[in-house]
Structure 1
Amino acid sequence: MGQGHGHGQGHGHGGAGADRRRLLIALVVTLATAVLGAVGAVLTGSLALLADLGHLLTDAGALAAAVFASYLAARPSSWRRTYGFGRAEVLVAGVNALTLVAVVIWVAVEGVSRLFDPAEIPGLPLLVIGAFGLVGNVVSLVVLAGGDRANMNMRGAMLHVLGDALGSVGVLAAAVVLLTTGWPYADTIASLLIVALILPRAVGLLREVAHVLLEGAPRDIDPQAVQAALLEIPDVHAVHDLHVWAINDRTPAMSAHLVVDEASETHCGDASVLDRAGDLLRERFGLAHSTLQVEHGAHVGHENHCG
């Protein structure tokens, strides 16, 4: 005997719209800061500024992609895409993390080469441009910080902007050292410190994206605990084919087969096994979308709906 049992939960678009506006504001600020950084990098030849510019350009692309992904994620599901476009934000977060990893690796390689051949960098222009860049980064961070911290797409965008802010701090530190001591390695060391701070965060986000795309269980839901809880329900003797995954980082889902006593009459109708299991999954694990099949131990490849 089998039956599919599903629960859906709609998500309001008010928060998503606010997040989209925040991303748009951060995009405009980032583009303006990138123009200033490009001028500064050309005038000074600073590797720290160049690293910061690389972050800014990838950030602009990342923010633009994040805005587009938020539009896609808000589109309703269809018969061709029954889960909608919720995974678009996960994919964009992965692309953003990959581009950030590529940029910091390039900066690291360039920085190591400059350790053996330091360039002469003027300190004062570096200081001025770094200060303006930091102001732009802080504005973008403040705007994005008010968004949904659980949204992987937003976190990917914030990670890029955080990288820029750290880059601007590094530029300022390098400028101060150059102005006070003239030490030629200040700019290079600053760029390598930026790499050391950003790379682990980018790799961490990339691992989260891969976990979702590989249908891994959400971090805050233990499948073994879910199975044990389902076995606590009277008349449920076994649970198999249990799967827990996430459409995106805000929409967990699960499915399972519940084996019940063939003589039991409590797996259909009011207060059924399905109802009790669905309530348990929602209340204890936040699993609003569940698909459960009730079957007998002797079930062999055939299904009869509850009558």
Structure 2
Amino acid sequence: MSQGHTISASSQNKGRLKLVITFTSLYLIAEVVGGILTNSLALLADAGHMLTDVGGLAFALIAITLAERPASPERTYGYYRAEILAALANAVVLIGISLYILYEAYQRFLDPPEVESKAMLLVAAIGLVVNLAGMYILRKGSKESLNMKGAYFEVLSDMLTSVGVIIAGIIMWTTGWYYADPILSAGIGLFILPRTWILLKEAVGVLLEGTPADVNIEELRKCVAALEGIEEVHDLHVWSLTSGVNAMSAHVVIAANDSTSYNEMLSRINQGVTSKFKISHTTIQLESKGYGEKETHL
């Protein structure tokens, strides 16, 4: 069985997350003021996203800090799942914000107000630079961790909103067509929803202890069964503690004529599994032929 407290992918990106939180917080203040002064829904929608971003990114940072705490008698696996809860919370909040923007866009479409498009463009352009920088900083970590993916999606949604605000601002500045503001806002909301839904499903999948997408459980079963001295593999389970930290448990039947010691067999299985699959923690029960025990699922 592998030992020690595995460092999660989120924890490795903690410094980057702090930097993005600082940028986002500073811009949020400027955007709220700009949105009120220009009377732009698109800009205020972006400010709403930025507000949830600051909270969501802070939540992700807190979750990373919790996940770094060592295991205890009450939390034998530690606090890894705090990162998944943060990703879940970010997804729920983003879905709520997107739905509210769609509702507000509908209301403004019925009666579009006049918008100070020049000032709106200036604020949105600054926001685009901030969000692009944040996406660049978080991009690598988003491929390794659901928690970082949730943080990345927060910043991505704001980047798209900034682009929408700029497009709407140019249209309103050059044509005076104020319907551009709610239409672009609605388009951004619709673009964000399906991506956030995917994040939500992935987070729920981890909490339900589903098989990780990066582990083929049938290939894993064949790999263990093919090792020397092993007759059968059953009651095999693979699940994620958090993104990038997968655990496995299995019952392994040893061949009757095999003279390998239990410690050597465990080492053989553990090495075979961890060298070919993304598994950090293994729990193996060695059995002889004929041993009977009620299985749980597989």
TM-score (norm 1): 0.89
Distance 1:179 1:91 in 2: 43
Q: How does 1:69-148 map to 2 (within 5 A)?
A: 69-145=63-139, 147=141
CA RMSD of aligned residues (A): 2.1
CA contact (8 A) 2:247 2:282 kept: yes
Higher RCO (CA < 8 A, seq sep 6+): 1
Q: Which residue of 2 aligns with 1:157?
A: 151
Identity of aligned residues (%): 38
The residue type paired with residue 232 of structure 1 is A
SS where residue 247 of structure 1 aligns? Answer: strand
Deviation string, structure 1 residues 163-185 (Cα, Å, up to 9, x no partner): 11111111111010001111121
Distance 2:142 2:101 in 1: 31
Deviation string, structure 1 residues 166-212 (Cα, Å, up to 9, x no partner): 11111111010001111121101110121122112111111110111
Q: Which residue of 2 aligns with 1:3?
A: none
- Structure 2: gaps of 5 or more residues: none
SS where residue 242 of structure 2 aligns? Answer: coil
CA contact (8 A) 1:281 1:288 kept: no
CA contact (8 A) 2:10 2:145 kept: no
Which region of structure 1 is more displaced relative to structure 2, 161-170 or 137-146? Answer: 137-146
Distance 1:301 1:143 in 2: 50
TM-score (norm 2): 0.91
CA contact (8 A) 2:49 2:154 kept: yes
Q: Which residue of 1 aligns with 2:291?
A: 299
The residue type paired with residue 136 of structure 1 is V
- Structure 1: gaps of 5 or more residues: 1-5, 303-307
CA contact (8 A) 2:10 2:147 kept: no
Q: Which residue of 2 aligns with 1:195?
A: 189
Q: Which residue of 1 aligns with 2:280?
A: 288
Aligned length: 294
Q: Which residue of 2 aligns with 1:221?
A: 215
Q: How does 1:248-287 map to 2 (within 5 A)?
A: 248-266=242-260, 268-270=262-264, 272=265, 274-287=266-279
The residue type paired with residue 7 of structure 1 is S
Distance 2:257 2:11 in 1: 52
CA contact (8 A) 1:16 1:74 kept: no
Q: Which residue of 2 aligns with 1:204?
A: 198
Q: Which residue of 2 aligns with 1:28?
A: 22
Q: Which residue of 1 aligns with 2:2?
A: 7
Distance 2:51 2:185 in 1: 16
Deviation, structure 1 residue 91: 0.6
Which region of structure 1 is more displaced relative to structure 2, 131-140 or 200-209? Answer: 131-140
Deviation, structure 1 residue 268: 2.4
